């Protein structure tokens, strides 16, 4: 995964959390790996849905699944990915 994209996502998420007076999140490489594997699965299968087995340290993970596409094939930024 692109570190700049991850940092941009975390910053954007924490900007929203700050507005709502909620503690900031930090990146977790294990959770990112679970998420990336599921994103790869959805890409391969052409599907969009929640991972029924997503967990970390025995705790289920919540997800926000979204699809965003640009016709010009540009990469999406973390900031652009969030306000869905």
- Write the pLDDT tens digit of every residue in 11-69: 988 998 999 999 999 999 998 898 889 989 988 998 888 888 888 898 888 777 666 66
- The least confident of 4-8, 46-50, 70-74 is 70-74
Looking at the whole model, is its pTM more than 0.85?
no
User: What CA dihedral angle connects 45, 6, 28 and 60, to 10 degrees?
Assistant: -40
Give the closest residue to 56 by CA, choosing from 41, 84, 37.
37
Give the closest residue to 5 by CA, choosing from 77, 53, 59.
77
């Amino acid at each position: 995964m692109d570190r700049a994209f991850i940092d941009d996502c975390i910053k954007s998420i924490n900007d929203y959390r700050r507005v709502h007076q909620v503690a900031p999140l930090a990146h977790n490489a294990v959770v990112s790996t679970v998420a990336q594997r599921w994103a790869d699965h959805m890409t391969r299968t052409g599907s969009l849905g929640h991972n029924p087995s997503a967990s970390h340290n025995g705790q289920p993970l919540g997800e926000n699944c979204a699809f965003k596409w640009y016709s010009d094939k540009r990469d999406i930024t973390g900031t652009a990915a969030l306000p869905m």
